[in-house]
Structure 1
Amino acid sequence: MKKLSIVLLLAGLLQLPQTLAATANIGVIAYAEKPLKLIRATTLYTVGAGTRLQGGDILQTGAAGIQIEGLASATLALGPDTRILIATNRTAAQINLLDGWLKLQPVPGSNHTNLAVTTGTLAFTVTQSASVIHVTPRQTEVFVEDGNQVVKELGAHGKGDHSVNLGHEDFAQRSAGGALTIVARPEQAFIDALPRQFLDPLVPLGKKTPAATEPKKERDVTYDDIEPWVISPLNLSQQMLANRFAPRLNDPTFRQAVKINRGGVLEWELELLRLERRKNAH
């Protein structure tokens, strides 16, 4: 019964809208080795420790590792070369992990069913387990450091009804198009590549977190900035993406890139049509 409840909860979480209408803060970058990139709305920023996060934020760590606190009562760490999109609604949050390293460690004694993670091929709600997830173009790997974790296998369109229960120190892999396989211990290649800060339990910084800082604007996003998300295996809503980045269609270079790369995709064609109508109205 418990497993069924988790699966049903996950099914609801995966339908989350990908942005938050209000600009409420949902967590904070408590630690950052180096400045990193953030895409908020249609703007690219440079940010660091102390930055308050919002629904719809896209984080790109580059060479830096970071720690996030206050997101659905969990502590998260991102390794180098990692990209996530944080989706939210009024009661839940979802981490869309495009590539790289993610470590999740729930705050003891709290209810974590309002936080979900998806990699495109796997999805789960955060329970009392501490887990490490690694995503590459070739495969997704999950290591349950502590506790138990129910993981759901997703099909080509982001849906699936097959779930697997991973136990303490289980290591699972899933290649594109393949089934999830479980082995007793992580492969040596996984251990060798594991970010150094993932080797120990995450220690929340709490009051040691730096004061809030304003993101430093670099520029408006280009199509190259958002293309990895537009064509990703995460099954993100094209309607959401087209609507979010429609203001950038006023830029001729961005508009031409969309016509070349998204021409024929209904949601983007509609935004292009709306732009033409607005121009003709003047």
Structure 2
Amino acid sequence: MFVSRRIFTLSALGMVCTIAHAAPAGPLLTILDRDAFLLRDDARLALAEGVALRPDDILEVPAQGKLARLEYADGLSLALGPGSRALLAPRLKGDRGGARTYLLAGWVKLSAPKGVAASVLSPALDVATTGGTIVLAVRPEAAQVFAENGEAAVRRPGNAGAVQVVKTGELLGLAATAGAQPELANRPTQAFVSTLPRAFMDALPPRAARFQGKEVEPQKIGPLSYADAQPWLDAESVALRRANLPRWRPLLRDAEFRRGLAAGLKAHPEWDPILNPPPPKPAYR
């Protein structure tokens, strides 16, 4: 298979607006095939079609799940596949600000209408498009970006300024090994196609209008546990972990959550001064 690399700068592409932009209002969950779950505030909830989602919501589609499709007011749709964990509207700043979601693991398909710019972040690759349809896969062995339609601007977190363009039909892969470099193929590999969620192969019609005027509430399953939060507390991105401190801090009132944080402090050292604040300085007269 032909493999090449094309690397450009942001200024040359004029794509700054596709990487960092203001995130719109939260989406509606309009298609749910099998179970999916929501972590919101201090609760774990079961999702249902018609639920309105918010910034800071964390969505989980288990491995046995199939599809959770979200629709935004600007016409953009975002679908999560099996084994996905995604944070909506992550609180990151700078060139990673304004993203629709942060995909910690799993599959996401983003379809943007003509003229609509959107981006998706992940531990290995950040992806942006204007009016395109892209698929991002984040798995233990590799991260991959497929441009189904239109162009995708892809950047590695921490690699300021360098953007790689993925054109319609191309697949960009980055192996999860030290020193690996992105490889661009002119078509998707058989291995990628065989693992692509089946629901991603269909063009799904918009359904948001069906839920206008309806208030659908997610059903509470139980309290949000340390185990629920741990994948995010231990995330590789220090910036993401720090940005999420306000989200998790209210859960310190739960003794089990606090014990979990303390036991795993090496994986999230930013919690040390919160769990073990320094003694107050003595007052001098």
Alignment map for 1:168-179 (pairs within 5 Å): 168-176=168-176, 177=178, 178-179=180-181
- Write out per-residue CA displacement over residues 196-244 of structure 1, whole angstroms, 9 at most, x where no aligned residue: 1111223212323483311111222111111111222344433333332
Distance 2:197 2:171 in 1: 17
* Shift in Å, 1:264: 8.8
Alignment map for 1:76-91 (pairs within 5 Å): 76-87=78-89
In structure 1, the partner of 2:100 is 94
Of 112, 116, 126 in structure 2, the residue corresponding to residue 111 of structure 1 is: 116
In structure 1, the partner of 2:58 is 58
Residue type of the alignment partner of 1:166: V
Q: Which runs of 5+ in 1 are unaligned?
A: 278-282
User: Which deviates more from structure 2 when the two are superposed, residues 174-183 or residues 64-73?
Assistant: 64-73
The answer as to 2:231 corresponding to 1:228 is yes
- Write out per-residue CA displacement over residues 144-197 of structure 1, whole angstroms, 9 at most, x where no aligned residue: 11111121122xxx4433211111100110012411101121111111111111
Distance 2:171 2:42 in 1: 38
The answer as to 2:167 corresponding to 1:167 is yes
Distance 2:240 2:150 in 1: 33
Alignment map for 1:41-56 (pairs within 5 Å): 41-56=41-56
Alignment map for 1:193-208 (pairs within 5 Å): 193-208=195-210
SS of aligned partner of 1:185: coil
| TM-score, normalization by structure 2 | 0.81
Residue type of the alignment partner of 1:240: A
Residue type of the alignment partner of 2:236: P
Distance 1:167 1:79 in 2: 23
In structure 1, the partner of 2:283 is none
In structure 2, the partner of 1:187 is 189
SS of aligned partner of 2:264: helix
Q: 1:3 to 1:44 in 2, by over 3 A?
A: farther
Q: 1:235 to 1:48 in 2, by over 3 A?
A: farther
Alignment map for 1:129-278 (pairs within 5 Å): 129-154=132-157, 158-176=158-176, 177=178, 178-209=180-211, 211-262=214-265, 267-273=270-276
The RMSD of aligned alpha carbons is: 2.9
SS of aligned partner of 1:26: coil
Distance 1:184 1:121 in 2: 21
- Write out per-residue CA displacement over residues 107-149 of structure 1, whole angstroms, 9 at most, x where no aligned residue: 23x431xx32111111122312211111101211111111111
Q: 1:68 to 1:189 in 2, by over 3 A?
A: same
* Shift in Å, 1:7: 3.7
In structure 2, the partner of 1:280 is none
Residue type of the alignment partner of 2:195: A
SS of aligned partner of 1:97: strand
Distance 2:172 2:42 in 1: 36
Residue type of the alignment partner of 1:111: V
Give the fraction of aligned pairs with identical amino acids, expressed as a percent.
25
Q: 1:230 to 1:213 in 2, by over 3 A?
A: same
Distance 1:204 1:64 in 2: 18
Distance 1:25 1:47 in 2: 19
In structure 2, the partner of 1:128 is 131
Distance 2:167 2:66 in 1: 30
Contact residue 232 and residue 241 of structure 2 kept, 8 A: no
Contact residue 100 and residue 134 of structure 1 kept, 8 A: yes
| TM-score, normalization by structure 1 | 0.82
User: Which deviates more from structure 2 when the two are superposed, residues 97-106 or residues 175-184?
Assistant: 175-184
Distance 2:267 2:68 in 1: 38
Q: 1:263 to 1:187 in 2, by over 3 A?
A: closer
Q: How many residues align?
A: 262
